Amino acid sequence: MLVLAVTAFSVAWWLGLYLAGRDPADPAMRRAGLGLVSYALALALAPFDGSVVDALGYVFAGLPALIWTGVLLALLPDGAPWRAPAERVWRWAVLPLGVAELAAAAVVGGGWEPLTAVLVLLPLAAALWLVLRARTAPFELRQGVVVLATLLFGLGAVVVLVPLGWVPDGVVLTAVGIDLVVLGVVVAMTNALEAGEALGADLRRSAVGALLAAVVFGGQVGLVALASGSSDALRALAFGVVGAAIAVVTLASAVQAAVDRLAFAGAPELRESRAELRDASDALPRRDERHHLDDLDDDAFARLVRDALRNYGDLGKLVSSPLLALPAVDARLAGTGRDGHALDRATELKALLLESIERLRPRDAEFGTSEEWRHFNALYFPYVAGIRPYRRQPDLSGLDDTSRRAFDWLRRYVPERTLYNWQNAAARIVAHDLRTRSG
């Protein structure tokens, strides 16, 4: 039983960390990962007895339903009218009140459990309804899988939140876990398709690394358990060792970045160079060599350009962009005589993006705030100059006078949503320019 429990925990724990770490900027990926991590903790607590452990296990088992509500909202199209208000309601009301209700039900039990099931699953049903309203026609396979898996997950969550004893707890936890894994993989596939990236090779590399870590480190604890008999201490050690080993392997880049911050605290350039190489190494398995830019419509191509602009300051992350296959990149490389290594192509793509952004700059002044300046300002200063006007404690060190003026203007007079809309419009202009030069 310990082997099965650790195996189920390992799968949920690894996939949760993988999803959260693959694209932390994507709220759907981040939330799906957090939901799986929460469920993994519930699986880890299941073999233990005790009132406190049971209460924590109940909360962790019910939390994925609240989190998955946020995942469904994040999967809504950007232009969906109900997305922004629904996000605010979920973040500031549904999530905190739902956690409080789960904690109260875990302590009191009894009559609180049916009420908890209603309060936790009602927002999930509302989010699913919004997804169905925003569906495309014809109904896509991914959308169908999300809807079906969410329905099955909701049924399983009812049994978890209102335990009636009709079905063994192990069967219920396994069924709900399978639904969460399916949902997590669908979210990862959607993220990869929208970014024009490959998923299989990167997912396989991460899974093999996690499996080896779990077998090598968990196997040693298992041998001790076979020799001396299982106990609560050994069970806790097994989950702790396997969980730590999988986390270190799955989040290797983040761990190395933390070590670099400590080891090279006085050498920021060295840290940045190492981070760039790590990002490039992580991005290589995500490159989709079969991606054909000519087959993309204008909306899909503009979305790729928008993603590349977001990663403008991170050469390592540009390595996975399908835009590396632009003929204009090939032409620039041919002129330099380089062999077309991924980092070389990313460098040339970055130069192309800058050229297209500079074409948006009006020629009458160094900086302006009139209507004709908005597209240039929306792209150049946040992405090229690197200013972050909406952070609570922005870092203004290293900015020149023009960038400081742009920062002050954006912060004072341009709402964040307005800047987002300007960036989308400007990205379409840049996309048209890139396609024209590559045609």
pLDDT in tens, the chain (439 residues): 678 889 989 999 999 999 999 988 899 999 999 999 999 999 999 888 888 898 999 999 999 999 999 999 998 887 778 888 999 999 999 999 999 999 998 888 766 778 888 888 999 999 999 988 886 655 566 667 788 788 878 877 877 777 666 666 667 777 788 888 988 998 999 889 888 899 999 999 999 999 999 999 999 988 887 777 778 888 899 999 999 999 999 999 999 999 999 999 999 889 988 998 898 899 889 988 776 788 888 988 999 999 999 999 888 889 999 999 998 998 888 877 766 788 889 999 999 999 999 999 998 777 899 999 999 999 999 999 989 888 877 777 778 899 999 999 999 999 998 999 999 999 999 999 999 876 5
Nearest by Cα to 313 from 346, 287, 340: 346
Q: Which residues contact 428 (CB under 8 A, 6 or more apart)?
A: 298, 302, 305
The phi-psi region of residue 311 (left if phi > 0; otherwise alpha if psi is between -120 and 50; otherwise beta) is: alpha
Q: CB–CB of 10/210 below 8 Å?
A: yes
CA distance 148 to 126: 15
- Residue 170 is predicted with a pLDDT of 67
- Residue 339 is predicted with a pLDDT of 66
pLDDT in tens, 44-83: 998 888 888 989 999 999 999 999 999 999 988 877 788 8
Q: CB–CB of 324/342 below 8 Å?
A: yes
E strand or H helix at 61? helix 51-74
CA distance 354 to 368: 19
Domains of the chain, each with CATH number or no CATH = 2-203 (1.20.1070), 289-438 (no CATH)
pLDDT in tens, 170-191: 677 777 888 889 889 989 998 8
Nearest by Cα to 161 from 93, 126, 115: 115
- Residue 334 is predicted with a pLDDT of 84
- Residue 310 is predicted with a pLDDT of 93
Say if residue 163 is preceded by a cis peptide, omega within 30 of 0.
Answer: no
CA distance 63 to 362: 51
Helices within 75-168 (DSSP H only): 83-89, 95-108, 112-133, 141-161
